[in-house]
Chain A
């Protein structure tokens, strides 16, 4: 039997029906069409499916969809405002911090979570915080530079 779930995704109220075993990732991608959240492993090891649930960074492949009931979900689709990229997104582009781009949505969601929790991370802190987001293309150097530059830019703007 399917369960009725009412949740807020990127500040919009969303309702859906799901099976009890369905993951939040599955529902986001296959039921709600929010395919910006990617599946790289399905086991919580790669971070491509990173989203926030009540402002906590999680792998959506390890969250059951029913757990979204009454919660507040943030996905990559909610990072930019309607007409402008978020600073983090701009910095990823400026620093050529993506190659194939499959890990990028998850990394941007994670970077945002990092900078909300720690607006002035050291490079080592950034590397350890983002250790749950695998990137096979870049060797991470440009990603870390984009993260550090985002922090600087956000702090100057504040």
Chain B
């Protein structure tokens, strides 16, 4: 890829094409759709964190004059014990169904039991009161320590820890254990002059998207269904719903509405299959919208974690061994991001000896969902805190210490591949020379530095571009636009075709108009769907050349494509894209381009964050006074939205580090299920977050793109944690550093 390449649109700060609808209120989000004849669905949820359902009688609710349908676990036709016993069903599907509507047991406070559809929202709410449920309450298991203790109540009697040398005979709350190693850590630690070993914990947090989950579903008499919902992946909503309800993919059309934030939390289904059951039974379209309280209690959260990290270094700063034990809460059903946690924890460092083990632990909390670089923030928080303590023990600058050991091209990762060209060293150098790092701390301030890594993924994307006879065109893509990706697609297509931006209209279509697209997640969209857009453009250009060749009576090989025009290399002729489109009728019909790909070569992304804080010693309150997020984008297609991803990730990470946590009472009931008490950062809580975009191109992408969405949430936990530790002169081992916790640390230390 040529460094000198000058682009017309790539790298510019263009106006996003969907922006007009979003600043005027016209854009339709999940709860904005209403249909004729529509009725409302509501869900009865468990008042206990852990209980057996001994009686569930819906007869009185069914008799309510406005109630038109009721849905229960038994309405999932493909999910039943017989099918599971015969090996026809996978446990993942059973878990998914049991999370959406509980089977015989409720596993967290807020766990859905029964859904009711009624003529009005108020009637549906009334009908829920008429449902009679009796429970045998069981002791709630609310932490990793409780879950793995010998006398723990067991959530799933059929869960036996996987990944051990021998599968145990007793059921356990540990769903699985994994281990990764390279070299010999014992030999490595034997060479160390300094070893730091510490234990850390992070709380349950929520993605905190402002738009609650919502859906409107219409089941038609011919057996087909239409689902509208805000989701990061409508093709996967279709797949999950079809599997749960025994339908074919072709029988379900899913339209992704605009999505009001997701951060990984809108990559699964909660309401959609339930609304479909209700609509089928009632013969009416059904709308369901979660309350904010339901969002907190029954969707999302990200895993709480416990970890033990041990890192050894020589006196000269060379790392010799890194070791980690990582425990992740999965919530009520197995499937925490333990795997990516283990794989990312030490990836910023090129060290010979590493050993990591991970545990996936079930507890009586809502089943966790992905949250921006799932698993990495918890693990890398712990690792980076120890790295900073080591730097201090070695009396080294924390950036120099990292530079000395930084992963680079050729580094053998713990999880498998050798790294290709990556930008960690460049990010560290940019951090070192940044304005913030050059600014001296004021009295009482503390500073923290942390690095972060995330893989990024590629995967399947399918794009069609239809050209009009006047040379305008429509880009049909199937990747929900969660933060401005339509702008990137428009820019890449305009660059490829050599036509003005506003001649191309990018549209996120429903599941009928393009082939399968993987969910918007893993920071894949601008990379993979962008590649599909480029491929579709190349397809168009090839056709334009052949059409021009036909007009000129030359071969396609004799036609070149330059700056939006076909050039006859055998003569003087030139035709613009619009001119070729205008003669499409005469040269074989209209022109469409297609790019259906399974993108390989996603570029891993590193970031380095700097955080300066001021801690009020009387109240324990921490204010972030300066913050800089530095990250390798490969190539920033739209720098404004790339910076936005860095800033957004930093803000979420700051919230995670300073304030956010689920607070439970002794019965396992979340006490702060609202934005007043689960406080995400406000405008007045944050300083301006500075950004530095580092660009080390990813050679697998035509413009050098790496994903940028997720890495930015990885470093803040340790950057903030270390800054607080630096400010108060005490170790930080548990998040959040909320005022009461910091005050207690200060008091315990006699300060």
A positions within 8 Å CB-CB of B? 29-30, 33-43, 45-46, 48, 75-77, 79-80, 85, 89, 92-96, 98-105, 108, 123-124, 126-128, 130-144
Contacts and interface: CB of A to CB of B under 8 A. Distances in A.
A137 B292 contact: no
A76 B207 CA distance: 26
Contacts of B25: 34-37, 75-77, 105
B16 A48 contact: no
A48 B638 CA distance: 26
Given A98-B22, A100-B260, A136 B652 contact: yes
Contact of A39 (B31, B644, B652): B31
Contacts of A108: 23
A43 B23 contact: no
Contacts of A128: 683-684
A141 B647 contact: yes
B675 A134 contact: yes
Interface stretch (B59-67, B209-217, B452-460): B209-217
A89 B24 contact: yes
Contacts, number: 181
Contacts of A94: 13, 15
Contacts of A137: 261, 483, 644, 648
Contacts of B410: none
Interface string B652-690: 100000000000000000000011100011111110110
Given A101-B258, A144-B683, A85 B24 contact: yes
Given A42-B291, A140-B686, A142-B643, 17 more contacts: A35-B28, A41-B292, A41-B675, A45-B674, A46-B675, A77-B24, A89-B23, A93-B23, A98-B19, A99-B644, A100-B259, A101-B260, A108-B23, A134-B675, A136-B261, A138-B651, A139-B686
A100 B16 contact: no
Contacts of A143: 683
B7 interface: no
A50 B209 CA distance: 17
Pick the 5 closest A-B CB pairs, nearest first.
A36-B25, A102-B260, A96-B640, A139-B651, A101-B22
B648 A138 contact: yes
A101 B28 CA distance: 10
Contacts of A39: 31, 212, 289
27 contacts: A35-B31, A38-B31, A40-B210, A40-B260, A41-B675, A42-B292, A43-B674, A45-B675, A76-B25, A85-B20, A85-B23, A89-B23, A89-B24, A95-B640, A96-B16, A96-B643, A99-B645, A100-B262, A102-B260, A108-B23, A123-B688, A128-B683, A137-B261, A139-B648, A141-B689, A142-B643, A144-B688
B611 to A, nearest CB: 13
B239 interface: no
B210 A96 contact: no
Interface string B459-497: 000000000000000000000001110000000000000
B contact face: mostly helix, strand, loop, or mixed: loop
Interface string B8-35: 0000010110111011111111011010
A94 B640 CA distance: 9
B346 interface: no
Nearest to B206: A136
Most chain B CB atoms below 10 A, which of A40, A80, A104, A136: A136
A108 B27 CA distance: 14
Contact of B648 (A30, A80, A99): A99
Contacts of A77: 24-25
Contact of A45 (B482, B483, B643, B676): B676
Contact of B210 (A29, A33, A89, A103): A103
B682 A142 contact: no
Contacts of A36: 24-26
A153 B32 CA distance: 33
A46 to B, nearest CB: 5
Interface of B: 13, 15-16, 18-20, 22-29, 31-32, 34, 207-212, 258-263, 289, 291-292, 482-484, 638, 640-641, 643-645, 647-648, 650-652, 674-676, 680-686, 688-689
A40 B680 contact: no
A13 to B, nearest CB: 20
Nearest to B31: A39
Nearest to B15: A93
Given A85-B24, A98-B19, A46 B210 contact: yes
A140 B686 CA distance: 8
Contacts of B643: 96, 142
B723 to A, nearest CB: 17
A136 B644 contact: no
B24 A38 contact: no
A140 B688 CA distance: 8
A141 B643 CA distance: 10
Nearest to A93: B19
A71 to B, nearest CB: 20
Most chain B CB atoms below 10 A, which of A33, A75, A127, A130: A127
A152 B545 CA distance: 49
Given A30-B34, A93-B16, A96-B13, A142 B644 contact: yes
Contact of A131 (B27, B210, B641, B684): B684
A97 B207 CA distance: 20
A104 B211 CA distance: 12
Contacts of A126: 683
A142 B27 CA distance: 21
Nearest to B214: A39
Given A93-B15, A134-B682, A40 B212 contact: yes
B633 to A, nearest CB: 14
Nearest to A106: B210
A96 B638 contact: yes
Contacts of B258: 100-102
Contacts of B676: 43, 45
A89 B210 CA distance: 20
B684 A139 contact: no
